Amino acid sequence: QCTQAGEPASQRNGRCSLDTKTVEDFRWRLKYFFMNPCEKYRARGRKPWKLMIQILKIAITTIQLVSFGLSNEMMVTFKDENLMTFRNLFLKGYKDHRHGSLSLYTKRDVNEHIHYIINRYTNLQNLTVGNLAYELINGDYTPLTLCQVFYRNSTIDPENDTFDIDPHIDKDCISIHPMQSLSNNTLATHPNFSLDFRRLLSVNIYLTLKTINLQTVRHHELPDCYDFHIVIIFDNRAHSGKIKVDIENDVRIYECSDWNVEAGKNDYLLLSFDSVVILACFASLILCIRSVIHGIQLQFVSITTEILLASDRMEFVNGWYMLIIVSDIMTITGSVLKIGIQTKFLTNYDVCSILLGTATMLVWVGVIRYLSFFKKYNILILTLRAALPNVFRFCVCAAMIYLGYCFCGWIVLGPYHDKFRTLAKVTECLFSLLNGDDMFSTFLRMRDKTYMVWLFSRLYLYSFISIFIYMVLSLFIALINDTYETIKHHQKDKEPVSQLQAFIAECIDQPESGRYQITDESTCCMFSRGCFG
């Protein structure tokens, strides 16, 4: 590369020596870039700010997550307990039906349950032990709304195997105010409301109740006001003679209009702490982005000089920094939502939980980068990184077999087995079998089926377990083990595993040698095309 036709020897020797010096400078810069924080401190005296901020982030984000989790737990518990209260208040004979929903089988039972719900609602203040109240809008209480959903016209005669049905759906509703009481025949005599069970799809009862979650006061938090929009559903869509009854609950959480709580300074402390978390994550974000940009600049130099292979250039883009950047963005966004929830401007508990939970997980995972600077920990991390591409390709191939079993089990065993009734349940059931869980009960539930289905289920389950547990999982473990042995062999023999590491290994200068004190002029020269001839 140094020889050019017609070039004087003196100029050729000068340019070659300049190229050699530039390559050595570049090698020093690479070695410094891939040093751990302690080595960088010994080389240039720069404090490991990113390391210190990551340690700080682990502490403050975990504290923030625990604080939000306890508050979120109280909210979820309050909602669940109120839903259980509504079921016991409004569903006649409800006894915590854990093994199935409440079901009705006679017209009399349906009518009695509807009247029971209405009477319980109109006398709610005399029944409940909680702080439930009716919704008041413009001085009027919100009424209970009773609606029936039915086919527009139908003539059904199972005796003669004939039917005439209009599939269009109509909805008929009546309103009942809280202070109104009903006799047992009020609905039957209502001119616009009578139940035709042959056409009936469902009966829906809509009601709204309000309450205040006072348990947060004990934790020095401002109580929230709740609107419970309740729907009691009598589901007759199957027309099988079984009407399933259940309650759905939609909750709206908001700040109470008039409140007075003593010793409410804890909210300001939480807001201040959340602000500290945002500032720490923002500082971490800036430092990591700067490091990523520096790595991209070094990658550009390697491309310009053609010193390294294309496969090694991706090592300049540090995946750990990208992980921390994503974590910081999610933590900042989640903290902003958390502040909005604490100040009652927002109620996105689920979104905030996902952001803060995922961000905290990534913060803890990101600390593995600093453990990788220790040799005994580094071999595990190198194994995971090296095995990931092969593992991904292996999982894609295994997924084809897995999906084939999912579709086959769903269509064949679905009508006969609860665990195969839907495609989602099939995937969950097979994944449980893959991990050796719940095998016997899965086999047991197919005993009383037809012989052909029973025989197919045995062949299906035995083949799936044999293929995935004895073959697929064994190959999966062997794939990772082979990568581990390869990395271990390279580290034992101190052989570089890539051209980049071999190029850096030629630099024998220690961090304390002072050779890494590169000036700004030489740094600028490294990125100018003239430095490389």
> For 456-465, what is each residue's pLDDT tens digit?
888 998 999 9
Residues 39 and 173 occupy one common structural domain: no
Domain closes at, from 263, 290, 315: 263
Distance CA 406, CA 428 (A): 10
Q: Is residue 260's pLDDT more than 70?
A: no
Per-residue confidence band for 243, with pLDDT thresholds at 50, 70 and 90: very high
The answer for residues whose C-beta is within 8 angstroms of residue 2's C-beta and 6 or more apart is: 12, 15, 16, 19
pLDDT category, 452, cuts 50, 70, 90? confident
In a domain, 428, yes or no: yes
- Top pLDDT among 327 and 443 is at 327
pLDDT bucket at 307, cuts 50 / 70 / 90: low
pLDDT confidence of residue 304: 63
* Alpha helix segments (H runs only) across 306-374: 310-313, 319-342, 349-366, 368-371
Q: Nearest CA to 35 among 509, 489, 362?
A: 509
Q: Note whether 355 and 315 are same-domain residues.
A: yes
Q: Choose the final residue of a domain: 213, 244, 263.
A: 263
- Same domain for 441 and 480, yes or no, is yes
Amino acid residing at 335:
S
Look at residue 533 in the predicted model and tell me its pLDDT.
35
135, 171: one domain: yes
Domain that holds residue 348: 23-69+266-376
Question: 145 with 235, same domain?
Answer: yes
Least confident of 44-48, 180-184, 212-216, 267-271: 180-184
Residue 520's pLDDT band, with cuts at 50, 70 and 90, is: very low
Computed over every residue of the chain, the mean pLDDT equals 79
Last residue of a domain, which of 263, 288, 318? 263
Compute the average pLDDT of residues 483-494.
73
Phi-psi group of 133: left, alpha or beta (phi > 0 → left; psi -120 to 50 → alpha; rest → beta): beta
pLDDT of residue 447: 63
In a domain, 239, yes or no: yes
Tell whether 99 and 224 lie within a shared domain: yes
Rounded CA gap, 212 and 318, in Å?
Answer: 49
Q: Give the range with max mean pLDDT: 207-211, 261-265, 375-379.
A: 207-211
Comparing 145 with 490, which gets the higher pLDDT? Answer: 145
Give the pLDDT band of residue 298 (cuts 50, 70, 90): confident
Mean pLDDT value of segment 462-473: 90
> Which of the listed ranges 250-264, 303-317, 320-334 does the model predict with the highest average pLDDT?
320-334
Residue 531 lies in a domain: no
Better pLDDT: 193 or 62:
62
Residue 524 confidence class, pLDDT cut points 50, 70, 90: very low
Band of pLDDT at residue 221, cut at 50, 70 and 90: confident
pLDDT band at 209, cuts 50/70/90?
Answer: very high
**Alpha helices in 91-185, H assignment, sequence order:** 107-122, 124-127
List strand residue ranges (DSSP E) for 214-328, in order. 224-235, 243-254
The yes-or-no verdict on residue 8 having pLDDT over 60 is no
pLDDT value of residue 525: 47
Check pLDDT > 60 for residue 496.
no
147 shares its domain with 234: yes
| pLDDT attached to residue 5 | 43
Q: What pLDDT is stored for residue 18 in this prediction?
A: 42
- Sort strands 200-213 and 144-157 into parallel, antiparallel or unpaired: antiparallel
Tens-place pLDDT, residues 107-163 = 999 999 999 999 999 888 888 888 899 988 887 888 999 999 998 887 877 878 888
Q: In this structure, are 293 and 342 located in the same domain?
A: yes
Q: Within a domain: residue 153?
A: yes
- Give pLDDT, residue 277: 93
Inside any domain, residue 7 = no
**Distance between CA atoms of residues 283 and 354, nearest Å:** 22
pLDDT of residue 178: 81
Same domain, 350 and 392: no
The model's confidence at residue 453, banded by pLDDT at 50, 70 and 90, is confident
Verify that 111 and 259 share a domain, yes or no.
yes
pLDDT over 50 at 401, yes or no: yes
147 & 212 share domain: yes
pLDDT of residue 63: 92
Domain total in the chain: 3
Q: How far is CA 110 from the centre of its chain?
A: 41
- Give the pLDDT of residue 511: 61
Length of the chain: 533
Task: Examine the pLDDT at 419 and tell me if it is beyond 70.
Answer: yes
Same-domain pairing of 109 and 253: yes
Share of the chain above pLDDT 70, in %: 74
Residue 221 lies in a domain: yes
- pTM summary value: 0.71
- In a domain? residue 398: yes
Q: Minimum mean pLDDT among 14-18, 92-96, 209-213, 219-223: which range? A: 14-18
Domain assignment present for 11? no
